[in-house]
Structure 1
Amino acid sequence: MSKVKEAVEVDVPVRTAYNQWTQFETFPDFMEGVEEVRQLDDRHNHWTTKIGGVRREFDTEIVDQMPDERITWRTTTGDTAQKGTVRFERMDDTHTRVELVMDVEPSGAAEKVADMLGTLDRRVKGDMKRFKRYVEQRGGESGAWRGRITPGSSDTPL
């Protein structure tokens, strides 16, 4: 499994950065290779990606979510194995550090070669830069979900 870690400082309050990240269906607007994310419910998303000509579909489950602090997920179906956490750290009233850490298990020969060449690292770095531009240019979030999810719990909106 490969670990990818990238952080950016965004010029928006922590609440804005967090709220925008919870709008999973907007991910194709700033994530390269993500064609569609459909939010199935508060915990589950269905992803369609196309990277290097290879199309993948998989489902993810949010296993831990604390508003303005973190979102942790893992894949549940499909041939893409990954888990990760995005953390939000308030720098001051108008700046937030957003850090993404992912563990990804490349599947297939092409993905393994791409991983060895650092393609995933570069892609995540680009995605985080594009998120920064996306959220800063919007001037505010496009929506929000402020619920709390803990491992083994039912959804508990705040």
Structure 2
Amino acid sequence: MGGVIEHVDVEVPIRTAYDQWTQFEEFPHFMEGVQEVRQLSDTMTHWTVEIAGVKREFDAQITEQLPDERVAWNSTGGTDHAGVVTFHRLDEGHTRVTLQLEFEPQGLVEKAGDKLGIVDRRAKGDLERFKSFIERRGQETGAWRGKVDRPLP
């Protein structure tokens, strides 16, 4: 398993940053390679992505969601990955968004890309584009304030 941790500071309140992150269908606006995300239920999403010219589709399940704090997920088919994004209030109008990804590169192209740090650069770029997207709008495109409790071990 490979892993990446990146963060970005955004000039919006924590609630705005969190609420925007819950709008998964908006991810193609700022995530490189993400062609479509469909929200199937409160805890299930379907992703269509293209990585290094290879198109993949998979489902991801939200495993934990705490408003204004964190969203965690695991893939349930196709690409093997998991992640968590956390939100930290810096002050009234500023929030630190931290993205942590764990993944298993598949195939020669992805393994070579992993070694070159492509995934790390993509995550950093995605966060920078999220920053631009939310700061330019100044408000979220929607919100889901529900809570998903982490499953017991």
TM-score range, shorter chain: over 0.9
| Deviation at residue 89 of structure 1 after TM alignment | 0.3
> For 1:135 and 1:151, how far apart are their aligned partners in 2?
27
SS in structure 2 at match of 1:55 = strand
Q: Tell me which residue corresponds to 2:139.
A: 140
Q: Cα RMSD between the aligned structures?
A: 0.9
| Deviation at residue 45 of structure 1 after TM alignment | 0.3
- In structure 1, runs of 5+ residues without a counterpart are 154-158
SS in structure 1 at match of 2:60 = strand
> For 1:2 and 1:151, how far apart are their aligned partners in 2?
23
Matched, 1:30 2:17: no
> For 1:52 and 1:3, how far apart are their aligned partners in 2?
18
Q: Please show how residues 1-158 of structure 1 align to structure 2 within 5 Å.
A: 1-78=1-78, 80-152=79-151
> For 1:151 and 1:115, how far apart are their aligned partners in 2?
29
> For 1:32 and 1:63, how far apart are their aligned partners in 2?
23
Match of 2:135, as an amino acid?
E
- In structure 2, runs of 5+ residues without a counterpart are none
SS in structure 2 at match of 1:128 = helix
Identical-pair percentage: 57
What count of residue pairs does the alignment treat as equivalent?
152
TM-score (norm. length: structure 2) = 0.98
SS in structure 2 at match of 1:20 = helix
| Deviation at residue 125 of structure 1 after TM alignment | 0.5
4+ long deviations beyond 6 Å:
none
Match of 1:111, as an amino acid?
E
> For 2:137 and 2:80, how far apart are their aligned partners in 1?
32
| Deviation at residue 25 of structure 1 after TM alignment | 0.3
